[in-house]
Amino acid sequence: MGFEHKDLLGTRDLSAIEIRSLLESAESFKEIAERPLKKVPALRGKTVVNLFFEPSTRTRTSFEIAAKRLSADAVNMSASTSSVVKGESLLDTVDNIQAMAPDIIVVRHKFVGAAHMIAERVGARVVNAGDGANEHPTQALLDLLTISEHKRLGPGLTVAIIGDIAHSRVARSNIWALTTLGVTVRVCAPPTMLPRELEKIPGLVVCERPEEALAGVDVVMMLRIQLERQDRLLFPSIRDYARIFGLNRQRLDLAAADAIVMHPGPINRGVEITSEVADGSRAVILNQVSNGVALRMAVLFLLGGQSYE
Amino acid sequence: MSQTEENSVCSAQDVEQILKRIAFEIVERNLALEKVVLVGILTRGVSLARRLQKIIGETANRDLPLGVLDITLYRDDLSSATHHPVVRKTEIPFSLDGVTVILVDDVLYTGRTVRAALDSLIDFGRPQSIQLAVLVDRGCRELPIAADFVGVSVPASAQDRVMVRVEESDGFDKITVMPRDSTSGE
């Protein structure tokens, strides 16, 4: 399999072949979730440390289940319970963890580049589970895996990403991965949440209004408004945001008749998406969660199955 | 690959005859065919299992369930493998509890693949018994494993390469022995 990286830090560094072989491999891991005994011995004796400096339930649990189903020993460390609250620096924390000889470190941190910095410092292989507003590669890859269950992933496919693009690492990782595969990506957000440099990416279309982004689209990806990443509110009110950018049934009718609706979670019901759409037949939001485990098993197996030279 | 050094052991016709014989032996040994399932090891073991299924279907008038097994995640050389093995999809859409599993592979060599397959099967349930059917037994075992049904025994040294080609993957059926060269082993 062509994967020539020590770490998985972002989708920006991945080639189309690497993305496709990861997705294909993840496809094979799905079946393990349906077995009576959901465990294979592939990573027996390997240690995976989940180092989360930001709150997370879904991603951390998903990585933990993935590691355990591969028989790796998974250890969780979250900032609120760690020595970070006692004043230890990030690098000291990392040095201490490295001293315990883990094979894979899964890291989430609020600073852009945190995973890269750790990857350079440690011998363990590092998976970026979110660095600030930069990248969250496994989320994008599981999104692609979910899309591929319904659509042909490649040129001719159009995906609309609507919401807080500027603060979203999920959007960034998806934009890199999708455009690498030749998929057309439309992004739509309030102007205060739309980074200007996006317009330079080939295959990317910036839309001012959600109606424009949704017209005839095959996949709708809604993003959460990340109030915790905003110093000040970037739009007049949550109600206004919901009215202008929220996905309701009328807006969804603008998309292709067989369009699917995705959301990386957690959902703010009634803000970026109505309950009717989120629970509707076209939503694949829980499939995304199931696929997350298979995709992360594929990533951990790829990084942990052998030592890197 | 130099065709001249390739020593053909069995032709397509031979392979067909061998599979018929194995199918008959399976039926003969397992009178309660309703409790027998076939599981092929990817890739060529699956093709052979499918053919056994067809022969048994035609001659004993019973369609045996067929499963597909990828043993990659159970390999004992994962941490030393130089290239990264590709994981393919295991599909065993039936319970293995209490049934007789006929495990099918193309070549029995070190026995390590079969060891991995046995561990994997047992994670799926508790079969009443597991029997091993192989097209070729080439010897050189590294683990104490023996086949119940052997198509042909080809005593070969570790320096030899025994290759099974099947129509489904290679376009034709053939069993050959040749000296191991720079091309990768099986």
**Predicted-complex ipTM score:** 0.84
Among A86, A196, A200, A232, which one carries the catalytic annotation? A86
Same domain, A122 and A156: no
Give every residue of chain B whose pLDDT is below 50, as ranges.
1-4, 182, 184-186
pLDDT of B82 reads: 61
Range of the domain at A87: 16-135+289-304
Per cent of chain A over pLDDT 90 is 79
A29 to chain B, closest Cα gap in Å: 7
Residues A40 and A128 placed together within one structural domain of the fold: yes
Is B89 in contact with A39 (Cβ distance < 8 A)?
no
Q: Which of these is catalytic: A5, A12, A58, A282?
A: A58
- Would you state the pLDDT for residue A230? 65
Of A115, A221, A209, whose CA–CA distance to A178 is shortest? A221
Residue B127 has φ and ψ, to the nearest 5°, of -65, 150
CA neighbours within 13 Å on the CB side: how many for A94? 23
Confidence category of residue A306, pLDDT binned at 50, 70, 90: low
**A44 and A81 assigned to the same domain:** yes
- How many structural domains does chain A have? 2
User: What pLDDT score does A86 carry?
Assistant: 72
The pLDDT, as a whole number, for residue A102 is 95
Contacts of A20 in chain B (CB under 8 A): none
Do A34 and A125 belong to one domain? yes
pLDDT at site B1: 46
Dump pLDDT digits (tens) for A170-209. 999 999 999 999 999 999 999 888 888 888 888 899 999 9
3-state DSSP of A13-30: CCCHHHHHHHHHHHHHHH
Q: Which residue of B has its CA nearest to A22?
A: B86
Interface of B with A (CB under 8 A): 70, 72-74, 78-91, 119-120, 123-125
A306 touches chain B (CB under 8 A): yes
Judgement on whether residues A157 and A273 belong to the same structural domain of the protein:
yes
A140 in a structural domain: no
Task: Answer yes or no: is pLDDT of A217 > 90.
Answer: yes
Spell out which residues of chain B touch residue A306, defining contact as CB-CB under 8 Å: 78-82, 84
Q: CATH code at A109?
A: 3.40.50.1370
pLDDT surpasses 70 at A150: yes
Q: Looking at the structure, tell me whether residues A126 and A168 fall in a common domain.
A: no
Average pLDDT in chain A = 92
Helices (H), A188-255: 210-214, 238-245, 249-252
Q: Is A40 on the interface with B (CB under 8 A)?
A: yes
- Length of chain B counted residue by residue: 186
Chain B residue numbers with beta carbons less than 8 Å from the beta carbon of A41 are 73-74, 119
A61 lies in some domain: yes
Full-model pTM: 0.91
Beta-carbon neighbour count of residue A80 at 10 Å? 10
Q: What is the pLDDT of residue B83?
A: 65
Q: What is the pLDDT of residues A41-90, one digit of tens each?
A: 999 999 999 999 998 889 999 999 999 999 999 999 887 766 666 777 88
Domain ranges (residues) in chain B:
11-79+87-156
Are A158 and A94 contained in the same domain? no
Are residues A68 and A126 part of one domain? yes
Give the pLDDT of residue B2.
46
Query: Mean pLDDT across the stretch A89-116?
Result: 93
Same domain, A250 and A188: yes
A249 and A159 in a single domain? The answer is yes
In a domain, A141, yes or no: no
Domain match, A166 and A271 both: yes
Residue A29 lies in a domain: yes
Given this structure, which CATH class describes domain B11-79+87-156?
alpha beta
The minimal CB distance from A25 to the residues B80, B86, B120 is found for B86
Residue-level pLDDT at A131 = 96
Does one domain contain both A193 and A294? no
Which tens digit of pLDDT belongs to each residue from A261-280?
999 999 999 999 999 999 99
Q: Is residue A223 part of a domain?
A: yes
The pLDDT value given to residue A231? 65
Residues 6+ apart with CB under 8 A from B19: B48, B51, B52, B55, B135, B151
Indicate whether A309 belongs to any domain. no
Q: Collect all residues of chain B within an 8 Å Cβ-Cβ radius of residue A24.
A: 86
Is A84 domain-assigned? yes
Q: Give the SS3 label for residue A285.
A: helix
Cβ of B90 within 8 Å of Cβ of A31? The answer is yes
